[in-house]
């Protein structure tokens, strides 16, 4: 075509005045987005972690209820009078190993691994016509203890103490 302008140089070339990399504004936007996402995610993660620890207490109290019921059906009495095991008063947020040779051994109850909660049986020695099993734990080390319990007449595990 006659009179059409002729283009010279590489097609689709970027201007040479811009250097490679990100601008300060772009980096600040990315940092703000990451900060916002972490502000949302970290508290949710901490709550889920606490709920997982609480699941230990609920599962073990349920197992104690099952073993107490089985013991009662065979011997017509419950096992009681067991102090907290393991003793968690020294370093509350740490995990402790189960201590064997307690009254829980009569029931055949011995959880595996290290525990966040300590467990106790209320009542006198023998004979018992009801039982109370308790779990105590300071899950986050703030000094506020969380208490969970179940009795022979309960179908649900009760909670009192540190809010969830």
Domain boundaries, the chain: 24-161
SS3 state at 143: coil
Tell me: the pLDDT tens digits for 101-147?
Answer: 888 999 999 998 888 899 999 877 666 788 899 999 888 778 788 89
Rounded to whole angstroms, the Cα distance separating 109 from 115 reads 14
| β-sheet bridge partners, residue 85 | 119
What is the structure's pLDDT at 2?
64
Distance between CA 105 and CA 115 in Å, rounded?
17
pTM confidence score:
0.73
State mean pLDDT over 88-111. Answer: 82
pLDDT at 47 over 60: yes
Residue 164: pLDDT band by 50, 70, 90 thresholds? low
Q: What is the pLDDT of residue 64?
A: 93
Q: Which residue has the tokens 């250097």?
A: 19
Number of C-beta neighbours around residue 25 at 10 A: 8
* 67 and 109 Cβ atoms separated by less than 8 Å: yes
Where is average pLDDT lowest: 6-10, 67-71, 131-135, 142-146? 6-10
The pLDDT score that the predictor gives to residue 91 is 63
| Position 35 confidence tier, pLDDT thresholds 50, 70, 90 | very high
Determine the Cα–Cα distance for residues 138 and 154; give it in Å rounded to an integer. 24
The pLDDT value recorded for residue 113 is 86
Measure the CA angle with vertex 126, ends 124 and 129; round to 5°.
85
Share of the chain above pLDDT 70, in %: 81
- Taking residues 72-87, what's their average pLDDT? 87
């Amino acid at each position: 075509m006659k009179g059409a302008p002729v283009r010279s140089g590489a097609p689709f070339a970027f201007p040479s005045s811009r250097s490679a990399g990100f601008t300060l504004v772009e980096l600040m936007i990315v940092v703000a987005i990451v900060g916002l996402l972490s502000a949302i995610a970290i508290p949710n993660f901490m709550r889920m972690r606490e709920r997982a620890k609480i699941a230990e207490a609920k599962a073990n109290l349920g197992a104690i209820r099952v073993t107490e019921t089985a013991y009662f059906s065979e011997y017509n009495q419950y096992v009681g009078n067991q102090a907290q095991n393991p003793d968690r008063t020294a370093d509350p947020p740490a995990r402790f190993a189960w201590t064997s040779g307690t009254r829980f051994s009569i029931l055949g109850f011995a959880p595996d691994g290290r525990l966040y909660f300590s467990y106790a049986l209320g009542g006198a020695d023998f004979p018992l016509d009801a039982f109370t099993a308790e779990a105590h734990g300071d899950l986050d080390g703030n000094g506020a203890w969380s208490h969970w319990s179940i009795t022979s007449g309960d179908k649900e595990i009760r909670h009192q103490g540190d809010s969830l």
